[in-house]
Structure formats: structure tokens, C-alpha cells
Amino acid sequence: MIYEPYRNKTVEPIRLLTRSQRKTSIQAAHYNLFNLRSEDIYIDLLTDSGTGAMSDTQWSALMRGDESYAGSKSFFRLKEAVNSLLGFEYFIPAHQGRSAELVLMSHFVGKGQISPGNIHFDTTTAHIEFQGGTAKSFVIPEANDPDNMHPFKGNFDVEKLEGFLKTHSKNVSLVIATLTCNSGGGQPVSLENLKDVSRLCKQYGVQFFFDAARITENAYFIKTREAEYKKWTIRRILRACCDLADGLWMSAKKDGLGNIGGFIAVRNEGLYETLKKYTILFDGFPTYGGLAGRDLEVLAVGLKEATDIDYLRWRTGQVAQLGMWLEESGITCIKPFGGHGVYIDARRFMPQIPEDQFPGQALSVYGYIEGGIRSCEIGPILRGRDPKTGKHKPGLDLVRLAIPRRVYSMNHMRHVADTFIALKKSAGMLRGMKFTYEAPLLAHFSSKFDWA
């Protein structure tokens, strides 16, 4: 057992509604957990984005916020943190990760261009496709096997990527490494793999960027799973990773330990000047990027706190403990366990439900009805439809239990495990779901469902 490297100062009351009340709530939400009211949820594992608890140091820093429209002191404190930790000279705040994606993809992606990655997350794919491009996955085959214990299942298939770049590099907008690989089960990418991809990008003259939302958790896995880096500090590993990239963007609502915010960081001054124009158009002046000065202060502290080895050991250990409880009860999850959540294989959980009846969405709904838990489908609904064929993109159908940072106790995780263990006993009687309304873009956020 691992133990929390913090103690509580403030608590927020939560309550578990009755089963009857939960059934009424989810029906009123059209069986879409995004539509639920937070007060009707007992354990909220919908996302780890912006849902963490801030430290006393972050709360103190918040009071230093300089709310000047341009050139605030808070901007320069966050700029220093980004530069010292990640090594990029040029930095633009953004109000969250997807606004950073809007800026970047508006510049990089043109109609008909391709953006290779390990596995892009949903908003990244949506922004690429919104600009008329195509997001293409080059993750290793082991990523599609939940039982495979490969330590870096977020890795690129370097040979496959090289073959693609040999013939298509002129039509590539940029290569993107998602760290950790969220849609692949929160799986990390090794430093050696990043070195190989960086070499290929330089060889073929294409830009290499990181989606760095969980880059510190990725660094922890490099330290603990990649033998040659076991003696390195987290900060040294972070710099070694970032030195391989032309730039990155980050939803700092994850490993920035903030409730809002993000940024873009690049090396090239000319690119920086170009991207600033988009930020002014979309987010505001480039020294605040849609954020209050107090938000910038919180992130400047949070980025550094996230590199603490005791915090990371607890963070990943809590995830692993929940995963082990589920696996011990015969529930198949993506293994090895990732950094920010446990991913249940919904098709194996309920093999009687056809793929076109969305077992992942159904299991998420049952998790709420059974135990007041809000989770998220990571499957065909989230991946969306292929713009050319109109069919749902292939891949695993998962239920993600994303654990907020520094929020829930192990007793809370025990309740989560007990909920899905109870459901497993009656899994053969559970039903699938159907659309009553399918939203045309990022369907999982606003579609409506009913029982099939």
C-alpha cells in the first residue's frame, strides 16, 4: 500500500443519491453522463482535466495574480517555469488545451494534409479534421491488446512511420506524440522511442510536436520502466524529452495541476510571431491567452509541484491499486495501468452486447446507476466517424475511470471497485444503447441515447 503525501485542509461534502434518484437523473440526461449535474454524482471520474485539488502554495500564489491586460508579472513567472522545466524559449498562454490546438492546427494543417501520431485524442483529431486534414495513428500493435504487458504501449511503430514518411512527408503537417497516450489507455511513450521519432522527423523535414497534457506522468514511467533512466530526476527526463521536439502544447489542467489553462511552447521565433496572431484573434493578448493573472500564477507553481517524485509515486500508485482490485475480480482492464486512470474493456465485460450497441457507453451508464460514479466512454462514440466512409473508426471500446489529482481517498477507490465488481456479477443481463440524437462533431459530449 502507498500513502498520501499530503493532508486535507478543506473538504467538500458529497452525497450518494438513492438508486431511484440516480435512474431519474440519468434518464433526464438522455443517458449521457456529460449532461448530469455534478451535485447528483458521488464519485466523479469523468475526467482528470481541471478537476484536481490545488495545494496551499497554489492558493497563496493565486493572490499574487497581476491582472494587467498586457505584460503582467504573472505571465513572466509562468514563462520562467515553462522555460526552466521544458526548455522552450517562446511561450504563449491558452485558456485550455483545445484552444492551443485551434491556434496550432489553424497554422499547420491545410486541406488534404495528414497529421501522424501515436493515437491522437478526440479534440486533436477534431481540430485536424476541422481544418480539412486527416489524423493518422502509428501506435505499436501491442496497444490494441489489453493483456499485453509492454511497458510503453503508447510508442510509435517507428518502422511503419518511416515507411509512411518516405512517400508522404511533403503532405505531412506535423507529427504529434500524445504523452501519455490517452485514447490508448493512458499508456506512456519511452524516451528511446521519442528519440527515434525525432530523428525521423528531422530526416524528412517535418515538425515534431508533443501533446504534453500528461508529460510529467510520462516522465515518471520513463524513470520507473526504462532501465537506463532510473537514476535520472523527473526534471532531467522532462528536459531530455522536450529537447527532441520542435514545440508542444499542454492542457495544464492535467499535469499543470490547474483548474483551467494551457499553453504553447516553441523554439523558433518566426513561428512564435506567427502563432501570436492566431492567439490575438482567438484567445486575447499573448501575455494572458484567455486566462486571468491568478490562473497564470497557479500554473507556474503547479508545473513544478507535478515533478515531485512522492506526488507521482502516489498518483500512479492510486491508479494501479484501483486497477488491481478490478483485475483480481475478473474485470479486464488495459495493462500495464497508466498514469491518470483505469480503462475497463467494455466488450469483454459485456460480450453479449453487439459493438453497434456501444458497450462502453452502456457500462458507463450502469456505473452511475449502480454506484453514483461518472465515467467516460473511450470508444467508437468518442473516436467518431471517418469523414470519408461515415463508419465509426475502429479500436477498443473502453470505460475510462479518470482519477482527479489529490482529490479522492483509497476508500473512494474501493467504492468504485465494488461498484463495477457488483455489475460484473450480473453482466450477462445488461443491455446496450442506441443514439436518439448523434451530434455531428465530438459526439460523446452532446449526443443523446436510450436503451437498445
**CATH classification of the domain holding 374:** 3.90.1150.10
Do 138 and 242 reside in the same domain of the chain? yes
Residue 230 bears catalytic tag: no
pLDDT score, position 387:
81
Do 274 and 353 reside in the same domain of the chain? no
Do 313 and 439 reside in the same domain of the chain? yes
Percent of the chain with pLDDT over 70: 100
Q: CA quadruple 431, 432, 437, 442: dihedral positive or negative?
A: positive
Residue 170 bears catalytic tag: no
> pLDDT-derived band of residue 388, with 50, 70 and 90 as boundaries?
confident
Phi then psi dihedrals of residue 254, to 5 deg: -105, -95
Mark which of 248, 277, 305 sits at the end of a domain.
Answer: 305
Query: Tens digit of pLDDT for each residue in 297-336?
Result: 999 999 999 999 999 999 999 999 999 999 999 999 999 9
Q: Is residue 2 part of a domain?
A: no
Q: Which three cell numbers stand for residue 385?
A: 466517424
Mark which of 284, 305, 326 sits at the end of a domain.
Answer: 305
Q: From the candidates 3, 28, 56, 69, which is the catalytic residue?
A: 69
What residue type is assigned to position 381 of the chain?
I
Q: Is residue 433 part of a domain?
A: yes
Phi then psi dihedrals of residue 140, to 5 deg: -65, 155
pLDDT score, position 62:
95
Q: From the candidates 122, 246, 255, 345, which is the catalytic residue?
A: 122
Do 121 and 86 reside in the same domain of the chain? yes
Do 173 and 148 reside in the same domain of the chain? yes
The overall average pLDDT reported for the chain is: 95
Residue 227 bears catalytic tag: no
Do β-strands 247-251 and 208-211 pair in parallel, antiparallel, or remain unpaired? parallel
The DSSP bridge partners found for residue 402 are: 341
Q: Is residue 8 part of a domain?
A: no
Do 295 and 315 reside in the same domain of the chain? no
Task: Give how far the C-alpha of residue 254 lies from the chain's centroid of Cα atoms, to the nearest Å.
Answer: 8
Do 240 and 361 reside in the same domain of the chain? no
Q: Is residue 110 part of a domain?
A: yes
The answer, yes or no, to whether residue 341 has pLDDT greater than 90, is yes
pLDDT score, position 342:
96
Q: Is residue 9 part of a domain?
A: no
Q: What share of the chain is helix, strand, coil (3-state, %, to 5)?
A: 45, 15, 40
The answer, yes or no, to whether residue 2 has pLDDT greater than 80, is no
Query: Tens digit of pLDDT for each residue in 262-302?
Result: 999 999 999 999 999 999 999 999 999 999 999 999 999 99
Q: Is 103 helix (H, G, I), strand (E, B) or coil?
A: helix
Q: What is the CATH number of the domain that holds 221?
A: 3.40.640.10
Q: Which of 169-173, 184-188, 192-196, 386-390 has the lowest mean pLDDT?
A: 386-390
> pLDDT-derived band of residue 39, with 50, 70 and 90 as boundaries?
very high
Residue 417 bears catalytic tag: no
The answer, yes or no, to whether residue 435 has pLDDT greater than 80, is yes
Mark which of 277, 305, 333 sits at the end of a domain.
Answer: 305
The answer, yes or no, to whether residue 166 has pLDDT greater than 80, is yes
Q: Which of 234-243, 354-363, 378-387 has the lowest mean pLDDT?
A: 378-387
The answer, yes or no, to whether residue 366 has pLDDT greater than 90, is yes
- If you average pLDDT over residues 185-193, what whole number do you get? 95
Q: From the candidates 211, 255, 283, 345, which is the catalytic residue?
A: 211
pLDDT score, position 251:
96
Query: Tens digit of pLDDT for each residue in 167-176?
Result: 999 999 999 9
Q: Is residue 264 part of a domain?
A: yes
Length reported for the chain: 452
Residue 76 bears catalytic tag: no
Query: Tens digit of pLDDT for each residue in 55-110?
Result: 999 999 999 999 999 999 999 999 999 999 999 999 999 999 999 999 999 999 99
Domain encompassing residue 195:
56-305
Q: What is the DSSP string of 62-74?
A: HTT----SSS-HH
Query: Tens digit of pLDDT for each residue in 206-226?
Result: 999 999 999 999 999 999 999
Do 114 and 168 reside in the same domain of the chain? yes
Q: Is residue 146 part of a domain?
A: yes
In the numeric block, the cell 501506435 is attached to 139
In the numeric block, the cell 520562467 is attached to 80
pLDDT score, position 444:
87
Q: From the candidates 127, 153, 254, 335, which is the catalytic residue?
A: 254
Q: Is residue 409 part of a domain?
A: yes
CA-based nearest residue to 260, from 430, 422, 429, 50: 50
Do 199 and 316 reside in the same domain of the chain? no
Q: State the total domains in the chain.
A: 2
Contact at 8 Å (CB) between 424 and 331?
yes
pLDDT score, position 277:
94
Q: From the candidates 31, 91, 121, 368, which is the catalytic residue?
A: 121
Residue 444 bears catalytic tag: yes
Q: Which residues of 20-29 are buried (b: 16+ CB within 10 A; e: fewer)?
A: eebeebbeeb
Do 291 and 387 reside in the same domain of the chain? no
Residue 254 bears catalytic tag: yes
> pLDDT-derived band of residue 384, with 50, 70 and 90 as boundaries?
confident
Question: pTM to 2 decimals?
Answer: 0.94
Do 159 and 254 reside in the same domain of the chain? yes
Contact at 8 Å (CB) between 215 and 255?
yes
CA-based nearest residue to 149, from 327, 398, 416: 327
pLDDT score, position 386:
83
- If you average pLDDT over residues 158-179, what whole number do you get? 95
Do 327 and 232 reside in the same domain of the chain? no
R_g over Cα of the chain? 21
Beta strands in 95-199 (DSSP E): 114-117, 134-137, 175-178
Q: From the candidates 100, 213, 300, 402, which is the catalytic residue?
A: 213
